[in-house]
Structure 1
Amino acid sequence: MKRILNLVLGLGLIAGFANPALAGPATIQWDKWGVPHIQADNQEQAMKAFGWAQMEAHGDLILTLYGRARGRAAEYWGEAYIASDTVIRQLGIPARGREWAAALPTDQRRKLDAFVAGMNAYARAHPERIAADKRAVLPIVSADPLMHLQQIVHRTFIAGSTIGMAMKVPLADVSSAKPEALPNGSNGYAIAPSRSADGHAMLLMNPHLPWSDLYTWFEAQLSFPSSNAYGAAEVGMPFLGIAFGEQGGWTHTVNQFDGADLYALTLDGDRYRFDGGWRPLERSVETLKVRGADGRLTDRALVIERSVHGPVIRREGQKGLALRIAGFDCFGMLQQYWDMAAAKDAGEFEAASSRMQMPFFNTVYASRKGSLYYLYGGRFPDRKQGDHAFWGGIIPGDRSEFLWNETLPYSAIPHFRDPPGGFIQNANDPPWATASPAVLDPRDFAAHIAPPEVMDWRAQHSLRQILAGTSISFDDLVAMQRSNRLEFADRILPDLLAAARISGDADVVEAVRVLTSWDHAAHTDSRGTVLFAEWERRMRAHGGNSVYATQWDPNRPLATPAGLADPTMAVRFLAEAAAAVKARYGRIDIAFGEAIRLRRGAHDLPASGGPVHLGSFRATWSSTAPDGKEVVSGGDSFVAIVSFGDRLRASGLLPYGNTSREDSVHAGDQLDLFSNEKLRKIYFYPEEVRENTERTEVIR
């Protein structure tokens, strides 16, 4: 039986401008999957309800993330957060968040204030739903979402791997430095009517992200007179990050944008070498408050030093590293995304995207009118020399020739509309293969914008399956999205088995038996996936790409790399892998879903979805739980497949559920669908929402 709860709240603005337009109510209809469908007479009402709904589903998580974005987490929760607070303060995120809030035009500020008002109203109305140690973050202020935005986009997506590299590289010799790979990715397809079976454009939205913390998605529908959009926001954000409506939709994938540069400094006390002379470091001192185990606060001085490049994030003796990040002037991001959601066609969508207020991500878009659009997004520094590999390392910081101050205009960044092949695809590969036949030529762009064309196993899987579909139906696109087949196994396993069949080693003989009957996939009942993945891990650790007989060739992108450079070594590693799997699981043919689990709330289910580095289009990765089990910790997150016909059709999934509250019935309530490789219907139209509403709230 549906439970209808009408909750009418009189809310006042906690921060910012009072606005009489907020007097009218907004309605939140929560469907049976815990998705809020918000209807309001104007955007400010909708934003207030959106803030309320996010706190209802993720209150403690949001307060944790906002506390960290303020650079005050150690004050709230102890010394474990000192390193986090230090980086946030060094990057100037708290002060810049306040500056952005003050700089917003009045109409944008009112919408942001409404979002914050809804959050605070929920916390006031339901203090029992806020953990005691999170209440110190209240009240939320309008700068908090903007600080958090910088924490997500700039500190994590743009600079996260660079900061990781900075903290580990030996400063005595930085020549070997390489950015750390972050656990994220994504798939995106846009299909033109010319390539679709029913003549309607289609879109696949399929980000791959960790299933926790600031990567968490919140699924919602926001409807008011100028916009009706369904999609997902990263928790704590006042806009839908990927979304669709009747007129079109977009998704993002992580790209190779390099907007964070590390500069090696030669230091002498409080000065650094630059252009043949010495310059003084700028110094400021901030106070970090740190909560002890007894609850008492102590003050610690945080000295922040800056060179002309940016903050010095690490120094040892006479060596230091300064960090320069592009895009810290993008305070118009909120309005850009609100306008993207309201766009009526590709022209309006491109006009919004071309402002480049989102300094990162590929954008893949499809419209009801049949037009497609792609943007290799980023606030690309205007660098006068060097290629992508050079700028991915550590840059000499002692001369001005490597110091950039401007960013490239939209016209200099890869983008296009309506490719002749009738599709756009991206699986985190460089922009050059997003369409076939190719639309973009690397020679037309600065060498530092993207690496040379290279396609990993998942990117090859992505391009192969879409090229095979000349008349793609909605069901075909669903089948593509859930493909667990491992491209790497299809390419390499025949050579491995041929070499292994002549071995007399008992473990190898058993491994050959298992892998010969294996389905080359990562379904719950696939037997051989765990063994093959363990073999690949050992091969990769030994030699990376050098293990292949033939390296990747851009002239044969879907046939290379191929072969084994050293079959004898490969068989030796197969014996080691078989022994390791048997030692851990008691058998080498353990089913994938028995070894890898899906857990959230009360749910504990067999996993499906393969490792992306083995070429599975449908992604999972795992980490070891306290009980020793491998548990999925990331991969496919929000998924939506949309057909833009006369009546919109959409299916989707948010595997871990639309809440981070472990006591909610929606914690992990979609894991069973994920385990069984199914999607659910997305409720977009009012009658669909009404038929599947569990409860209703009216927010004043």
Structure 2
Amino acid sequence: MKNTLSRKPSLRMAVLPLFAISLGLTACGGSGGGGVSGSTPDVEQGDQLAAKIRRSDYGIVHIEAQDNISLGFGYAYAFAQDNLCAIADSYVTVNGERSKYFGPENSWEFTGNGTVNNNLNSDFFFKLLIAEQRVENLLALAPPAGPRPEVRELISGYVKGYNRYLQDTGVDNLPDPTCRGAEWVREISEMDVYRRFYQLALLGSSAVAIDGIGSAQPPGPDSLGTLPLSPEDIASQLGASWKGVQIGSNAIALGSEATQNGRGMLLGNPHFPWNGTERFYQAHLTIPGELDVTGGSLFGVPLVLIGYNKDLAWSHTVSSAWRFTPYRLQLVPGQATSYLVDGQPEDMTAWPLTVEAQVPDGGLQTVERTLYTSRWGPVFTSLLGLPLFPWLPTEAYAMADANATNFRYVNHFWETNRASSSRELLAVLERNQGIPWVNTIAADSAGEALYADISVTPNVSDDMMISCGAPLGLVTGPVLGLPVLDGSRSTCAWLNDDDAIQAGTIGPAKMPHLFRRDYVTNSNDSYWLSNPNEPLEGFARIIGDEGTERTMRTRLGLVMVEERLSGSDGLPGNRFTRQQLQDLLFNDRQHAAELWLDDLLTGCVAMPLVVGTGGPVQSAEACAALSGWDRTDKLDSPGALLFRRFAQNLFITTVPSGTSASQLNFVDVWTTPFDVNNPVYTPSGLNVLNPHVNYALGSAISDLQGAGKAMDESLRTSATESRGAEIIPIHGGPGSLGVFNAISNKWDAAAGYTDVVHGASYVQVVSFDGDACPDARTILTYSQSTNPDSPHFADQTRLYSQSGWVRPQFCESELQGKITETLELSQPLD
């Protein structure tokens, strides 16, 4: 049967010339899980792959198909139109071919965790995974350990859709100049897709040690026999770096007691990279009678990871739980690749690997390297780029990764897309136990809110953390919650729970979750204060800390919700509307200013001369500018730039050596210390007599003077994002300063804050109104396409700059008149 690609006359050819408008729209409605009934898409079935791809405002895609394989087919084709170059680069990475195409000396950033990885080391890391057949072994397992049959069908269709786009377009004719004509762009296989899935599963564990695993080599004869740093210094450096990992998020789920209409409502605000492939793609997926779901999916994953259907909305925040534990190996004297377990020697497994790498003349050479694994996992020498775990003649470290055997997260999201209540979502969590590194926050149409951290976590009890702790672990365990275990004792293997699907992980009964009718929230602190009225306590330290200071972003989220529910926020009533939940995010309040600015202004009288990085400077003009600031990071709030520099300089100058990760929140400048009985409102107050305050203010003034900025400069001209030649001002600010609308951008000493690194990404506010059409607003802050020539490269970024929102179309009645393109795509199944 001949392949068909049907196009119809366009009503908007001048704006979006590729595809036409087709108005055979279907009625919204249906059965459980957001299904659609009575729908009659004009696509062929049987031995055909057939999908209808429609686009609405801002390039949001709506994929409709009769089965999973056709849904994956349509999704991949649409996604490739927008982002093929970005995902093709990832397929090079996960196959260990970066040195071949981009040179062994260059590097790439895994934007999801902020690590920068040398290409050659990265290639050996992924070649090791391939040699061990990690992915192949998981694919050989039956569900839930291996993918469901429906997931396999979805991926089969995804591969066909991706390849069909390349066949239709041709590598030499790709619309994105980034990879047009590139030899590394090729058709893909199912294994490419699954390897990308596996890369994402490891994001919070082995993938923070890509360099450290890929480069680990036995010590030479001249190697020193001791650790270069003390355990306390290692814990300090590791804690500071881990706190800076570029993943985070906020989420608030409201129940029936917190909303005006008595139904559920959700704010999902993941803080993810604005570049690279750990970005979200916005899509609406429909299989009539079975599936109707919309939201954001990470590049290369044809499932909605954060989103909603007609009955349930959910989001995720990065969990505080650790996903791995280093094991200290006691090496056999004189044998750097053998180690002792229970007094008996065990040889490491040697993996001779080869990588093709460019040479200066443009040719290729074969590079050989042998990597080593132990019963605990691969030997590694660094985490997050920190060389803190050297391979010495007497000891080495191996990484045990709880996500090394986890493909269950794909099954989890396939089921979540079809779930119809918070209770059903909890059952999905418990049934699959596959969430690799995030909390889950959800609200349903019946008004029940859920918080859960039922995620893949090594089963290390608090007692075991001490009894099995290696010398380094006796520091990292209590301070960071990270066990470093003694690999010389078999009894120090992870524990087993009867209700855990995966051996060595904590079962659902010992992981925290909470249902509420008022609210739950999380902003990357631990589970403890998901709702301060019902603290979650008594869980293993490896999951998170309890009874400790919360970050300012966590605290502001709780403060804003409590202000609304107490009626003390100046607005009518004491329950949320959908608009008020949106406004909570875009009010751009900065909690650091709310806690410190009054004291700083009082202290200005005693600090007419301040000394910072630029030497002594007068403070009067700066203090006058701050006195008129409204304490927000809105674009036109004079003084916002100055205070941000003050607070960030204060942060930098108040981190003494040995400070733990949980203490990195300005601990030595508070006037009122943390009180476990008042954790939302303490610590507070700024100790202006602390010399760091004087230094930080002086440094901030010098920073603005050096950049040619006025003391009352706003963010409109000094916090921007580049989109080609276009410079777009960006509101919001650092989450570390308690800005809920978290945005992290680079400080340029000559220009201010330029180019967003990570922050608010796919944002959704979803309200249920008792019908089949949720009342939602979304914004994909960095826009739908990575192609600089696409009309959807910057359109939502401009909208975000204006604090605007998209009114997404979920029901067919809402899509009337909103379709800008339609593509009906089909081909033989074989």
Q: Are 2:99 and 1:32 aligned?
A: no
Pairwise CA distance, 1:158: 3.3
Partner of 1:456: 551
Match of 1:599 among 722, 737, 745: 722
Partner of 2:581: 477
Q: How does 1:332-371 map to 2 (within 5 A)?
A: 332-354=408-430, 355-371=432-448
Q: How does 1:231-270 map to 2 (within 5 A)?
A: 231-267=295-331, 268-270=335-337
Partner of 2:626: 515
Match of 2:98 among 70, 73, 90: 73
Quick one: structure 1 residues 93 and 536, their matched pair in 2 at CA, closer, same or farther if it must change by over 3 Å?
Answer: farther
Q: In the TM superposition, what whole-angstrom CA distance separates every residue of 1:375-425 from its partner, at most 9, and x where no partner exists?
A: 1132122214225646526444443444326111111111132x25x1111
Partner of 2:258: 195
| Contact 1:69/1:94 (8 A) holds in 2 | no
Distance 2:352 2:78 in 1: 39
Moved more, 457-466 or 566-575: 566-575
Q: TM-score if structure 1 supplies the norm length?
A: 0.92
Distance 1:72 1:531 in 2: 45
Pairwise CA distance, 1:353: 1.7
Distance 2:278 2:230 in 1: 30
Pairwise CA distance, 1:43: 2.2
| Contact 1:524/1:592 (8 A) holds in 2 | yes
Which amino acid in the other structure matches residue 263 of structure 1? Y
Q: Are 2:762 and 1:638 aligned?
A: yes
Which amino acid in the other structure matches residue 519 of structure 2? F
| Contact 1:496/1:567 (8 A) holds in 2 | no
Q: In the TM superposition, what whole-angstrom CA distance separates every residue of 1:412-462 from its partner, at most 9, and x where no partner exists?
A: 111132x25x1111111111111241152x22x223221224310010010
Distance 2:187 2:209 in 1: 33
Distance 2:698 2:188 in 1: 57
Partner of 2:222: none
Match of 1:307 among 374, 377, 385: 374
Moved more, 543-552 or 249-258: 543-552
Partner of 1:501: 605
Pairwise CA distance, 1:266: 4.1
Partner of 2:646: 535
Which amino acid in the other structure matches residue 676 of structure 1? Q
Moved more, 430-439 or 159-168: 159-168
Quick one: structure 1 residues 111 and 580, their matched pair in 2 at CA, closer, same or farther if it must change by over 3 Å?
Answer: closer
Partner of 2:819: 693
| Contact 1:499/1:571 (8 A) holds in 2 | no
Helix, strand or coil: the match of 2:618?
helix
Partner of 2:802: 676
Q: Are 2:362 and 1:295 aligned?
A: yes
Quick one: structure 1 residues 235 and 626, their matched pair in 2 at CA, closer, same or farther if it must change by over 3 Å?
Answer: farther
Quick one: structure 1 residues 602 and 230, their matched pair in 2 at CA, closer, same or farther if it must change by over 3 Å?
Answer: farther
Helix, strand or coil: the match of 2:59?
coil
Q: In the TM superposition, what whole-angstrom CA distance separates every residue of 1:272-330 from its partner, at most 9, and x where no partner exists?
A: 24444432211111111112343322111121101221101224442432111102222
| Contact 1:247/1:367 (8 A) holds in 2 | yes
| Contact 1:74/1:291 (8 A) holds in 2 | yes
Q: In the TM superposition, what whole-angstrom CA distance separates every residue of 1:122-169 from its partner, at most 9, and x where no partner exists?
A: 111111117256543522111222211221231x2334556689999x
Q: Are 2:673 and 1:551 aligned?
A: yes
Partner of 2:186: 138
Match of 1:466 among 561, 580, 601: 561
- Give the unaligned 5+ runs of structure 1: 9-18
Partner of 1:11: none
More helix by percentage: 1
Pairwise CA distance, 1:24: 5.1
Quick one: structure 1 residues 33 and 382, their matched pair in 2 at CA, closer, same or farther if it must change by over 3 Å?
Answer: same
Partner of 1:158: 205
Q: How does 1:280-429 map to 2 (within 5 A)?
A: 280-314=347-381, 315-318=390-393, 319-354=395-430, 355-384=432-461, 385-386=464-465, 389=479, 391-392=481-482, 394-404=484-494, 406-417=504-515, 419-420=516-517, 422-429=518-525
Partner of 1:46: 71
Pairwise CA distance, 1:20: 7.8
| Contact 1:33/1:666 (8 A) holds in 2 | yes
Pairwise CA distance, 1:504: 2.9
Partner of 2:12: 2
Helix, strand or coil: the match of 2:821?
strand
Pairwise CA distance, 1:580: 2.2
Helix, strand or coil: the match of 1:458?
helix
Quick one: structure 1 residues 554 and 211, their matched pair in 2 at CA, closer, same or farther if it must change by over 3 Å?
Answer: same
Q: TM-score if structure 2 supplies the norm length?
A: 0.78
RMSD, aligned CA: 2.6
Q: Give identity over the alignment, percent.
A: 23
Which amino acid in the other structure matches residue 374 of structure 2? S
| Contact 1:356/1:378 (8 A) holds in 2 | yes
Distance 1:483 1:164 in 2: 41
| Contact 1:605/1:671 (8 A) holds in 2 | yes
Quick one: structure 1 residues 390 and 519, their matched pair in 2 at CA, closer, same or farther if it must change by over 3 Å?
Answer: closer
Distance 2:749 2:164 in 1: 37
| Contact 1:601/1:667 (8 A) holds in 2 | no
Q: In the TM superposition, what whole-angstrom CA distance separates every residue of 1:569-626 from its partner, at most 9, and x where no partner exists?
A: 1123312321222112343222112111122245312221111111011011112579
| Contact 2:733/2:742 (8 A) holds in 1 | yes
Distance 2:397 2:591 in 1: 40
Helix, strand or coil: the match of 2:588?
coil
Which amino acid in the other structure matches residue 36 of structure 1? V
- Give the unaligned 5+ runs of structure 2: 1-10, 23-43, 107-118, 142-146, 217-225, 382-389, 466-476, 495-502, 566-574, 610-616, 656-666
Quick one: structure 1 residues 67 and 24, their matched pair in 2 at CA, closer, same or farther if it must change by over 3 Å?
Answer: closer
Pairwise CA distance, 1:673: 1.7
Distance 2:606 2:711 in 1: 20
Moved more, 684-693 or 630-639: 684-693
| Contact 1:203/1:643 (8 A) holds in 2 | yes
Helix, strand or coil: the match of 1:207?
strand
Q: In the TM superposition, what whole-angstrom CA distance separates every residue of 1:203-224 from its partner, at most 9, and x where no partner exists?
A: 1111001101121110000011
Q: In the TM superposition, what whole-angstrom CA distance separates every residue of 1:514-544 from its partner, at most 9, and x where no partner exists?
A: 1111111111112222222222222222224
Q: Are 2:141 and 1:99 aligned?
A: no
| Contact 2:255/2:263 (8 A) holds in 1 | yes
Q: In the TM superposition, what whole-angstrom CA distance separates every residue of 1:155-211 from its partner, at most 9, and x where no partner exists?
A: x2334556689999x943361222422112111111112210122211111100110
Pairwise CA distance, 1:75: 2.0
| Contact 1:257/1:360 (8 A) holds in 2 | yes
| Contact 2:253/2:520 (8 A) holds in 1 | yes
Quick one: structure 1 residues 377 and 160, their matched pair in 2 at CA, closer, same or farther if it must change by over 3 Å?
Answer: farther
Distance 1:599 1:621 in 2: 14
Distance 1:84 1:392 in 2: 25
